[in-house]
Amino acid sequence: MNLNTALRLVALTGPLFTSTLAAAQEAEPVTYKGAVSVGLSGNTFSSSDSTPPPPIIALDMERRIDGTVTFYGGPSFGVDTEDFRNVLGAHLGGRYFLSEQIHDGMFVSLQGEVFIFSRGDSASGHRLALSGLVGYAQPIGEEWVVSLGAGMEGSLMSTEVVVGECHLFVCNVGTTTEFERAVQPHVRAGATFRF
């Protein structure tokens, strides 16, 4: 066996040997009681004719339920845009990690959200949404994790608009309610601190 062949053999078997050795020497998996995370989620476009809702900043408290299943929830805040203002809501969801550790590797997630908002000076409403995501979580150090998920979201938005007209000193004011259903892509990125 010449030197060139030996180097090729080492190059091909080296990564396999070192990863097997590292797995054999790996310590017991670390378990975490919970996690706090901040995320940014939004829709890239909407199937309805109206403007998609603004990006949402979500604060989560996440707890491990069993094995590789976690449950999370918390408040959500919308970024004010020209069409949406004062967006405030809450979300609940769960994640199932396909790996043997939570917060490490591929996951699937189901999440529900409810929001209230105002549109201009004469409209307000609420939005209900249910989304399913597939994503990946990558630990960075012992406590930090970054994750990215993408999937689909179905939503129902109800907007109550104040309408009316005034003639001299007499005003007829009423409200109309508009409903919008939409299915759109949903993306969520987050940073998590485990404890």
Q: Give the tens place of pLDDT for each residue, 75-85.
A: 999 877 777 78
Q: Which amino acid is it at 31?
A: T
- Tokens for 48? 């309805």
**C-beta separation of 57 from 76 below 8 A:** yes
Average of per-residue pLDDT across 3-22: 40
Whether the Cβ atoms of residue 89 and residue 55 lie closer than 8 Å to each other:
no
Beta-bridge partners for 162:
175
Confidence grade of residue 170 (pLDDT, cut at 50, 70, 90): confident
Structure tokens at 82: 């020209």
Q: Please state which CATH number belongs to domain 32-194.
A: 2.40.160
Q: What is the mean pLDDT of residues 12-17?
A: 41
Average pLDDT over residues 89-117: 94
Residue 184 and residue 171: Cα distance in Å, rounded? 40
The pLDDT confidence band at residue 190, using thresholds 50, 70 and 90, is very high
- For the record, the structure tokens of 33 come out as 């009681």
Neighbour count for residue 132 (Cβ, 10 Å):
15
What average pLDDT does the chain have? Answer: 81
What is the pTM (predicted TM-score) of this model?
0.74
